Amino acid sequence: MMRVRLGFERLLDSGMLGGRRVGLVSNPSSIDAELQHVADRLTNHPSARLTALFGPQHGFRSDVQENMIETGHARDARRKIPVYSLYSETREPTAEMLSDVDVLVIDLQDVGTRIYTYIYTMANCLRAARRHNIPVIVCDRPNPIGDLIEGPMLEPGFESFVGLYPIPMRHGMTIGELARLFNEHFGIGASLEVMKMEGWRLGMWFDDTRLPWVMPSPNMPTLDTAAVYPGTVLFEGTNVSEGRGTTRPFELVGAPWVAAETFADGLNRLELAGMRFRPALFEPTFHKHARTGCGGCQVHVLDRQMFRPVETGVALLIAFREAGADRFEWRPPPYEYEHTKLPIDILAGTSMLREQVEGGMSARDIARSWEAEVARFAPLREKFRLY
């Protein structure tokens, strides 16, 4: 099978950048098939000139481990150009940042989940570019977890930097398709060109592409992590460890009050499709419960097409709450620049999920409650398909 050819590779061959000053939004996962970073490819371009770099959450070099830690602006010592943080006092490029830019190129690796902030960095760049009359080229990359849709829709009033638009938790779109959706359907209105991939087909996962995996963010080490992330990211809204501080973040979940074997046995009796819970004990080196033993489980995906990560995450929420009714807590704000609403609510994009869990609903019934919204989203998604 031929490897997928990335949008950025097609852009370099297109001649579209000739004679232009280029601003690049990227991070370490913005690489080509030979592991060359796109900034280096642009630096060596025969006629374009790279004039500014922009980094999303965790920084242009993705060297900030924790989430919600802002990164500063800098100057790239090798390329002698400014590096602007879009996870700082601003999350949108300013006029000054764009003053030496003729075209803004966005090349970021998304992970297929609504709450991943890179897609909103892209949306903010589109807004700024429209305001300052700068064209944008989004270079498409694979959705690593395929094209299935699942999870609650974001409701009006729950917008945040982990969810700006009403899309499902697992959206099943590439970042280029999302750019078109945001720009056209949700009315940003920037001058946008999306450079498609070649060889990408519906239903593919990242390991079907023959491309190298580079961590999109410090706690997204593997494709296995991305597969479970749409559900276990919900634990950022609780006092349960989502596995940060271990080598398997988001696959391992646990808390000090849980007996792992009994816990995993109970979950496996639910017979959730395409996966199995393995009892696990772990001690995070940082973040929640650092240097404290936690009991819980590791989520193992056995059948990608059958596996439903968001329903799995909800089943886990219910189980941890039941295992420690006097110790389980919803995390209080602030969270990702939201100072009023509970983090679990802005992660879910609604207060309904929390209320359903508190009301004793089963994971299966909660999953059924979002199926109609997902079905309504599917035709909209089709309008913005590129493949």
Instruction: Find out whether 38 and 55 touch, Cβ atoms under 8 Å.
Output: no
Would you call 177 exposed, middle or buried from its count of C-beta atoms within 10 A (0-12, 13-18, 19+)? buried
- Coil/strand/helix, residue 275: strand
Please name which of 259, 245, 366, 249 lies closest in space to residue 320, comparing C-alpha atoms: 259
Q: What are phi and psi of 40, to 5 degrees?
A: -70, -40
pLDDT at 148: 97
Question: Whole-number mean pLDDT of the chain?
Answer: 96
Please name which of 109, 61, 110, 59 lies closest in space to residue 87, comparing C-alpha atoms: 59
Q: Where are the domains of the chain?
A: 7-217, 223-370
Q: Rounded distance, CA 255 to CA 104, Å?
A: 44
pLDDT at 66: 67
Domain 223-370 fold: Aspartate Aminotransferase, domain 1 (3.90.1150)
Q: Helices (DSSP H) in 237-308: which residue ranges?
A: 260-268
Residue corresponding to tokens 């296995």: 224
Instruction: Find out whether 227 and 263 touch, Cβ atoms under 8 Å.
Output: no
Instruction: Find out whether 212 and 31 touch, Cβ atoms under 8 Å.
Output: yes
- How many CB atoms are closer than 10 A to CB 290? 12
- How many CB atoms are closer than 10 A to CB 364? 13
Domains 7-217 and 223-370 share a fold: no
Q: Rounded distance, CA 234 to CA 344, Å?
A: 6
Domain 7-217 fold: Rossmann fold (3.40.50)
* Strand-strand pairing, 168-170 and 150-153: antiparallel
- pLDDT < 50 positions in the chain: none
The structure tokens listed for 368 are 């059924």
Q: Rounded distance, CA 19 to CA 36, Å?
A: 22
Q: Rounded distance, CA 348 to CA 345, Å?
A: 5
- Coil/strand/helix, residue 143: coil
Q: What are phi and psi of 368, to 5 degrees?
A: -60, -30
The structure tokens listed for 271 are 């017979």
- Coil/strand/helix, residue 253: strand
Stated pTM of the model:
0.96
Instruction: Find out whether 23 and 81 touch, Cβ atoms under 8 Å.
Output: no
